[in-house]
Structure 1
C-alpha cells in the first residue's frame, strides 16, 4: 500500500536527485528455489516482464541475461524485457518514472537508494514473499537490513561487495611482518614497511566514506542512530571521534600515509597500490581480480585480511551492492517475485557473482566461498558474513551522500584544517540538518 504522503515524498525525491549521482558501490537451507524460476509465477505465457538492470557491473551482461531469459520463459512462459540503465543517470530516471507512474516491473536498485524509493511509495513490500520463500534467514543480514524501512522490505538482496585490507605479500615478507590483526599491529606493520622501503606509502588514508566508517564502527561509534522516527548523527560521539583520531594518527603521528591522499577517493588509492606505491589499502572484494588482470606481475603477490578491530576481531565494513525491487506499478507481482527469487538465490546468483567479482547475498553461497579458502576471496567472505554493516537506512541518506558530508570531514581532518572533534561536530551538524529537513 502506498503511503498517504506519496506526493510530498515524490517532490522531495525529485529535489534530492540533483545531489545524489551514484549508488553504493561505486554477494540449501533458506536459499529459496536455486536455479528454478521460483514460486508463484504460474503460467504467464504471452506476458512480458520489464526489468531495469544497472549498466557496467557486469562488463558483458548480455550472455548472462540471455541465459536467464531462456530459463525464465521455460519456467513461466513469460518473456523478459531487460533494459540497461547507466548508473550515472539512474537516479534521475527512477525519480522521473516514479513521478510519472511509468516504472518497470522489477529494477536493480542500489542499496542506499532503496529506502528512499520505498519511502516514496514506489516499491512493493516483499517481506511476505521472503517469508513464504523461506529466505528470512537466508539473506545476509546487513544487505537485507539496508532494504528494510519501518519493517517493510523494499528490496531483496541480490549482490554485494565488502571492503577489507589488501596487502602486498612480498613486501610484508621482506619487512619480516605478518598482516595486522589489531589497530596497534596495523601501525607496527606500516612502520616496518616504511623502514624496509622509505619510498613506500604503507597505508594511504583517503577521504572515502567506506575507508572511514570501519574505524568509526570499530571504535564503537555509529554514523547515525534512530530514535522513533528521528535520526541523529553519531559522528560527534566520543567513540566515533576515537576512530577518527586513530585514522588521523596513521596519516600524522605515524606517517603511514601521504598528504596527497587527503583528496584521494577509493579509485585513486587502488591505482596507487596497483602501481606498487602502497603496501596496504582498504578496498573491495572485486578489487584483487581486476588488479591482477591489469598487472600480471602482481600474480601471487596479493593477500587479504579482514579489517581488524582495535584489540582483535574485525571492524565492521560497509556491505554495498544492489537489491532487486518490485515496483508498485507492476501488473503481476507474483511473476515479478518469481524473477527476483530466481536471480537472488542459487545458480544465477552464484553465476552473477563469478562474472562480476561481487558476492551473492545469501548466507549459504557466502559460506561456500569462505570454506573454499581462496586467499583472495575467503577473507572478504568472512568479513561480509561476520562483520559487515549498513549505512543509516533513511530516505535522507542519499542527500547526505550527495553533500559529501563524510569525505569533506575527512579531507578537513587529513588536511590539517580541523581537529577530529571540530570536523566531526561540523559534519554532525550538517547531517542533522539534512535529517531534519
Structure 2
C-alpha cells in the first residue's frame, strides 16, 4: 500500500493486514518508493521541503518516489506499535530524541551504526546529540533538529529598571524582586512540574540527575551540588519570588501571564510565542517580550535539547536506500531546511555560529543556548521515572510544601535508581 506524497494528519489509517514496509518492491531490487513518517501535521512549507528533499534524493536514486505521511504526535505510540505488529510501516521514521532508546528496545529501529560510521557528514553533528541516538552502544537514530528553552523577559521593563537580562542565580533574584516592586507582578515563574527547567538549575551547579556506571544506573539526587540546586529552585517559591499558583503546575500555566503583563520572566521554548500571540489581550505587549539564555549558578545554564531523530524502521525492505534518504533529510542542507520551516534549530553547531542565527534577535538567544546543551539518561526507563512517576518534580513539590530537602531527595534518589534499573521488557 502506497501512501500519498503528502497526506493530511486525519488521513492516517493503519491496517494490521497490510505489508510491513513502505516500499513497493519486495524483490530486493531498487525500491519504487520509500515512505517517511513525520510527526505533526501537514503545512505548506513542509510540503515544499519534502518536494525539494525528494528531488535531491532522486539525483542518486532516479525514479524512486518519496511518500510522506504525517502522524499526529498523540497517535505516534499506537501507529508505531501497529507497524511493529505487521501493519503499514515506514522506511524512515521520525521519533522524539528522548524516545530512541525506548523504540530501539522494542525492536522498532534498525541498527545503523555502520552506515553512520561511514557517513562523513556525521562528524559535524553535535556529538552529544548524536550519542543520544544510541542505545546500549548501538546507533539507532541521527538527530534531525533540536529546540531549547530560554528565559523570556519583558525587555521594556528591564530597560526601565536599568537591568540587563539576568545571567546568574543572584541576578535572577535581584531582577525578579525589582520587577515585583515596580510593577506589582511576580518577577519570575518557577513551576514545580517542570523537569526540563529544574534540570537546567541542577546542571548549571555541576550536579547530575543520574549517571550510568557499567550496566547500572546510579541516582545523583543526593549529591551536594544537586541538592543545592534543587533547594534554590524550591526557594524561589518559598521566598515569594514565584507565586504559589505555579505550585504543582507546569510551565504552560505561566504562558498567558507572560502574554498579558502579569509576569516578568519565565522559561519556555520558542514554540511558546505562537501561543502567546493567541492569548495576548493586547498584541502590542508581544513586541516587548524578548529572550535570553537561562541563568545558571555562575553563568549560562545548560539546557535539555529536545527535538527529533531520524531512524530506519526495522521492517524496511530497502535499508540502504532508506539510510540514503535519511542522509538527505538529515545532512546540513536537509537538517537546516527542516529546522527553519519547523521553527527549530539544526543539529550542526557550526551552523549555529553563523550571522543568520547569532544576529537574528528572535533566534540569537536560543542559538547561543543550543551551544550549551545536555541530555537526560539514555534508557527506555527514563520515561517511567520522569513522565510516569514524576520523581524530580515530585521532590521539588514536597520541598516547597515544607519537606526536608535531604530526606525528600534521599527517598527520590532510591526510587529513581530502582526504576532506571528495572529490566526493559
What is the CA distance between 1:176 and its match in structure 2? 2.2
What is the CA distance between 1:69 and its match in structure 2? 3.2
**In 2, distance between residues paired with 1:103 and 1:240?**
43
Deviates more, 1:262-271 or 1:176-185: 262-271
Match of 1:422 in 2: 407
**In 2, distance between residues paired with 1:420 and 1:183?**
19
What is the CA distance between 1:89 and its match in structure 2? 2.4
Match of 1:303 in 2: 290
**In 2, distance between residues paired with 1:284 and 1:355?**
16
What is the CA distance between 1:294 and its match in structure 2? 6.4
**In 2, distance between residues paired with 1:145 and 1:324?**
13
Match of 1:108 in 2: 94
**In 1, distance between residues paired with 2:212 and 2:43?**
35
Deviates more, 1:328-337 or 1:318-327: 328-337
Change in Cα spacing, 1:101 to 1:220, as seen in structure 2 (3 Å) is farther
Query: Aligned with 1:321: secondary structure?
Result: strand
Query: Aligned with 2:410: secondary structure?
Result: helix
CA-to-aligned-CA distance 1:176-230 (integer Å, 9 cap, x gap)? 21111111111111111111112x1111111211111001111111111101011
Match of 1:397 in 2: 382
* Preserved contact between residue 201 and residue 256 of structure 1 (Cα < 8 Å): yes
**In 2, distance between residues paired with 1:369 and 1:140?**
19
Query: Aligned with 1:365: secondary structure?
Result: helix
Change in Cα spacing, 1:94 to 1:236, as seen in structure 2 (3 Å) is farther
What is the CA distance between 1:413 and its match in structure 2? 2.8
Q: Does 1:150 align with 2:136?
A: yes
Change in Cα spacing, 1:366 to 1:233, as seen in structure 2 (3 Å) is same
Match of 1:236 in 2: 222
Match of 1:65 in 2: 50
Query: Aligned with 2:383: secondary structure?
Result: helix
In the alignment, which of 134, 137, 149 is matched to residue 163 of structure 1? 149
Query: Aligned with 1:421: secondary structure?
Result: helix
Match of 1:134 in 2: 120
Query: Aligned with 1:186: secondary structure?
Result: helix
Match of 1:358 in 2: 344
**In 1, distance between residues paired with 2:238 and 2:178?**
16
Change in Cα spacing, 1:46 to 1:101, as seen in structure 2 (3 Å) is closer
* Preserved contact between residue 288 and residue 302 of structure 1 (Cα < 8 Å): no
Asked which structure has the greater RCO (Cα within 8 Å, sep 6+), the reply is: 1
**In 2, distance between residues paired with 1:219 and 1:367?**
26
CA-to-aligned-CA distance 1:253-277 (integer Å, 9 cap, x gap)? 2x11110101221222222211221
What is the CA distance between 1:101 and its match in structure 2? 7.9
Change in Cα spacing, 1:369 to 1:417, as seen in structure 2 (3 Å) is farther
Query: Aligned with 1:143: secondary structure?
Result: helix
* Preserved contact between residue 369 and residue 378 of structure 1 (Cα < 8 Å): no
Query: Aligned with 1:361: secondary structure?
Result: coil
Equivalence map 1:77-116=2 (5 Å): 77-100=63-86, 103-116=89-102
**Superposition RMSD in Å:** 2.3
**In 1, distance between residues paired with 2:272 and 2:295?**
19
Query: Aligned with 2:222: secondary structure?
Result: coil
TM-score, normalised on structure 2?
0.85
Match of 2:24 in 1: none
Query: Aligned with 1:360: secondary structure?
Result: coil
Change in Cα spacing, 1:359 to 1:294, as seen in structure 2 (3 Å) is farther
Match of 2:5 in 1: none
In the alignment, which of 51, 61, 86 is matched to residue 36 of structure 2? 51
Query: Aligned with 1:412: secondary structure?
Result: helix
* Preserved contact between residue 53 and residue 108 of structure 1 (Cα < 8 Å): yes
Deviates more, 1:290-299 or 1:329-338: 290-299
* Preserved contact between residue 164 and residue 284 of structure 1 (Cα < 8 Å): yes
* Preserved contact between residue 188 and residue 263 of structure 2 (Cα < 8 Å): yes
**In 2, distance between residues paired with 1:319 and 1:278?**
25
Match of 2:246 in 1: 261
Query: Aligned with 2:314: secondary structure?
Result: coil
**In 2, distance between residues paired with 1:370 and 1:245?**
39
TM-score, normalised on structure 1?
0.82
